[in-house]
Structure 1
């Protein structure tokens, strides 16, 4: 009896903690689309595994509850892919694909079909459609895996991203292997993966806080380095180089990359990309006002951006308006 209670506890723990973590992500002041996708993903998996847990210990559950839990599966694949897509877009300072909503709408459309053909009236269809749902989930995992492979980015910043992706793969594998294992394995897999993901999240946060603790500059040194950075950025217009990176900037001011990164992050409160893009956008604003004959592609290129999408995304993020609306507002 005790072992059964412990099994229920560990099975339900993932769903409960996943929902709490989702609430935390939805309530964060820094509202990033990636956070919203991760929160929604945790809700979908929490509902699915919560249904698995209760059904395993109480097979007489109402069919409406079963349908609700199975319908959540339709969102896990798309939300995993969209979380990966949005996170990589943030990392590379590029715009998120405008078509991301269509993935959610497709899942909602299929769920709508389930409302028209409910489990209670069409159990035969539902028993045979779950294999298709798992294939649907797998296809989105393949899309997400392709984006991760093409990005080929593996750093502290992407540990959480990879953890979420592989957790989704693990949960799918657990449900697909149900015929040879047990129906409760999916819920137990989520409990395991959610705690690994949470641990990763907090370790990553602690790593960011402690990254420079042994190299911290005093206020005078930090101000001097900020002045040197500003001088080389404005004097040499380094920001016009689309391939400018932290190593090159650190070399120009004769300092370590870690020290330059520390000052930009801690003293200026900015990421390296935001710091550089602010100079580029300032230059772009000047071009938009002075060179009215230039189209947006040329403005982006002459401001140091290597793509139009990156230019538009950075301009909107920094100024709160599009380049076209900025130019129109300044026109006499």
Structure 2
């Protein structure tokens, strides 16, 4: 079991650094500095915990009974909260005030080692429980949208179950041998990272999509003075007749400007009236166009068709096509040709 835990620690370290690099490259100004910092701190905090576990299990060093380790424990929950407030559409507090969530972690650096284990640990997990309840409540409010995110919600449910297991493990700490506790804790952390990687592979745009829906669900309506039906007709004209979906860099803000709307208004309109996010809406039009071209232009390569409808790479085209049709584009073409 210990060797298995060490193997998973290696996986966690590699995956966390990869995700941190991806987050740095893919972050946007709309996220806010607190959310961007929290995402990076979360991944670095997880890496720090797993490095401490690796040293303890290998017997090379013991930092688990140090104030630094306790600080890392207290960092995880507020960091995940900071990342989630954008994902779940609830970033309302001013940015400087949000950093107060990290105050308990800073205090831990000055605590005497005598109270770190097990009482400091239990305190960290109690704080984590509070954040977990908040996140669960926010996710529950999205229950009406669950049909749109079946795979994603499966991953989130699995993450929630892992978090519950961590809490149960924490409260059984006085009853479990120290080595067994950190072995199991390492495995649960690695399991959570694995679920994140799995969800991102299944749905690369999950963060963008869920965030867009959450903002539309929680926000006060911005469409009070908008002729929604007329605007939807204008949107259809731009997308279907003018084929704006062919622009690979098409953004929500671009369409909003053309419709004389704000990005929040257009996002809410698409989410509430079409019951889908903006990204999904554009992907569907691109895939529908690709399906027609696969039949109408048999000599054209699958890649050229994908690029012509607005996808930036073959992998993005294949993933989106399979997500919406259940089969790869090449197989779709063969099936349609065989039945015609």
TM-score bracket for the superposition, by shorter chain length: 0.5 to 0.7
Residue number in structure 2 paired with 1:114: 108
Mapped to 1, the partners of 2:266 and 2:237 lie a distance apart of 24
Q: TM-score, normalised by structure 2?
A: 0.55
RMSD: 4.5
CA positional deviation for 1:22: 1.0
Change (3 A) 1:173 1:103: farther
Change (3 A) 1:164 1:16: farther
Residue number in structure 1 paired with 2:67: 67
Structure 2: which 5+ residue stretches go unaligned? 208-221, 269-340
Change (3 A) 1:188 1:280: same
Q: TM-score, normalised by structure 1?
A: 0.56
Residue number in structure 1 paired with 2:282: none
* 1:44–1:72 Cα contact (<8 Å) kept: yes
User: Where does 1:236-275 land on structure 2 (aligned, <5 Å)?
Assistant: 252=233, 263-264=244-245, 266=247, 269-271=250-252, 275=255
Query: Does 2:166 match 1:174?
Result: yes
Mapped to 2, the partners of 1:9 and 1:305 lie a distance apart of 43
1:93-112: CA deviations, max 9, x gaps? Answer: xx8212454343242x3233
User: Where does 1:1-332 land on structure 2 (aligned, <5 Å)?
Assistant: 5-28=3-26, 30-31=28-29, 32-33=31-32, 34-58=35-59, 61-63=61-63, 66-89=66-89, 96-99=91-94, 101-107=96-102, 109-119=103-113, 123-152=114-143, 153-154=145-146, 163=155, 167=159, 170-171=162-163, 173-174=165-166, 176-177=168-169, 179=172, 182-205=181-204, 252=233, 263-264=244-245, 266=247, 269-271=250-252, 275-276=255-256, 279-281=260-262
CA positional deviation for 1:304: 9.6
CA positional deviation for 1:66: 3.7
* 2:56–2:64 Cα contact (<8 Å) kept: no
* 2:38–2:82 Cα contact (<8 Å) kept: yes
Change (3 A) 1:134 1:202: same
Q: Secondary structure at the match of 2:92?
A: coil
CA positional deviation for 1:47: 1.6
Mapped to 2, the partners of 1:207 and 1:170 lie a distance apart of 20
Of structures 1 and 2, the larger Rg is shown by 1
1:82-124: CA deviations, max 9, x gaps? Answer: 22211132xxxxx8212454343242x32332232242xxx23
Mapped to 1, the partners of 2:141 and 2:164 lie a distance apart of 23
- How many equivalent residue pairs? 242
Mapped to 1, the partners of 2:2 and 2:138 lie a distance apart of 41
Change (3 A) 1:100 1:110: same
* 1:37–1:83 Cα contact (<8 Å) kept: yes
CA positional deviation for 1:166: 5.0
Structure 1: which 5+ residue stretches go unaligned? 90-94, 209-238, 283-299, 307-332
Change (3 A) 1:43 1:85: same
